[in-house]
Structure 1
Amino acid sequence: MRSKLTAFALAVTALAMPALAQDRTPAVRQSLVDLAYVLGEAHALRQACLGEDDQYWRTRMIRMVDTEQPDAALDRRLKESFNTGFASRQGEFPTCTGATHRAEIATAARGQSLAAQLSQVMNPVQGDAPPTLKEMNADAGHGDVATRPAPR
């Protein structure tokens, strides 16, 4: 379980180079919003087990926003998405149970997938075209955050 969470954390950290989202496609901007939602979910799930003082995923979110330096509209969407993801999982998993741990693993897998997709778009292998939004959503799987509309 911890290996998936660690991989997710490393993937988010790997996005340390700004995506310059204000200059990117709507698909990239949406993927950043989706990743913010997943970070919010992860924050709530981790706090359910480790307590409200734990700020691990919130700190990662702050780093992502600081790195991206988004325009005001995207900044607002990122923060709203994080908060929506947090509230969703906090309401669903108010205490630490086996189900909380399983949800944490699934959330980490979604986050890792989104981070990997963004990494491919930001740093494509020479000669490879970045994935399209359709490809990104198909790779994310049915029901993932990437296929949901962003909170408004």
Structure 2
Amino acid sequence: MNRLSLNVLLAFVVLSAGRAALAQDRAPAERQTLLDLAFTLGESHALRQVCEGGDDQYWRSRMVRLTEVEKADQAFDVQLRERFNAGFAARQDAFPGCDDASRQAEQRTARKGQALAATLSRSMVTQAPPQALQDQAAPETVADR
């Protein structure tokens, strides 16, 4: 995994592990960012499968995790899944084979996903009550005692 992909994964982990607001409780701008992230995850899924093969489910499993964390109402859950599928179809059609162009597209898509995840992560931190932020602090180690 390259450094950029690792950064995207770390940003997504922060998003998933933090105090997630329910999708329907989010502001309209945040809901749009979630839809954009779902589209980007779909693009990433298609681009990764081009080079790794059709059995690779790396980004699809991240999308499943996103829908689990968000606990969206049925209508918004359908929108998230449709956006993922639209992103997948767009990139699958544009890049039928693994080459330098598909790898560059994968990097651009990773940067876009990283930015979207960071935006959501920042909004969650600003909404989290102070105790929730303290609960996410590094655990105490034996040396700290």
Q: Provide the rounded CA distance (Å) in 1 between the counterparts of 2:127 and 2:23.
A: 19
Equivalent position of 1:19 in the other structure: 21
Query: In the aligned structure 1, how far is the partner of 2:23 from the partner of 2:65?
Result: 15
Distance in 1 between residues matched to 2:76 and 2:21, nearest whole Å: 12
The aligned runs of 1:57-96 (5 Å cut-off) are: 57-96=59-98
Give the TM-score normalised by structure 1.
0.79
Aligned counterpart, 1:49: 51
Report the alpha carbon displacement of residue 73 of structure 1 after superposing the two structures with TM.
Answer: 1.2
- State the Cα deviation string for residues 21-56 of structure 1 (Å, max 9, x = none): 211111111100000000000000000000000000
* Whole-angstrom distance in 2 between the partners of 1:82 and 1:40: 4
Q: CA offset at residue 57 of structure 1?
A: 0.1
Does the aligned pair in 2 maintain the 1:45–1:89 contact within 8 Å? yes
Q: Matched residues in 2 for 1:19 and 1:88: separation?
A: 29
More helix by share: 2
Name the Cα RMSD after superposition: 1.5
> Number of matched residues?
126
Kindly state the Cα deviation for residue 7 of structure 1 after the two structures are TM-superposed. 0.8
Return 5+ residue gaps in structure 2 as ranges. 129-145
- Equivalent in 103, 118, 121 of residue 120 of structure 2: 118
Match of 1:30 in 2: 32
Cα pair 1:13 1:60 within 8 Å, conserved: no
Contact 1:36 1:81 survives alignment (8 Å): yes
Q: In the TM superposition, what is the alpha-carbon distance from 1:124 to its structure 2 partner?
A: 1.8
Which consecutive segments of 4 or more residues in structure 1 shift more than 3 A?
none
Q: What is the CA deviation profile of residues 45-92 of structure 1, one whole-angstrom value per residue up to 9, with x for unaligned ones?
A: 000000000000000000000011001111011000000000000000
Structure with max Cα Rg: 2
Equivalent AA in structure 1 for residue 43 of structure 2: E
Equivalent residue, structure 1, for 2:137: none
Secondary structure of 1:15's aligned partner: helix
For 1:111, the aligned partner's letter is G
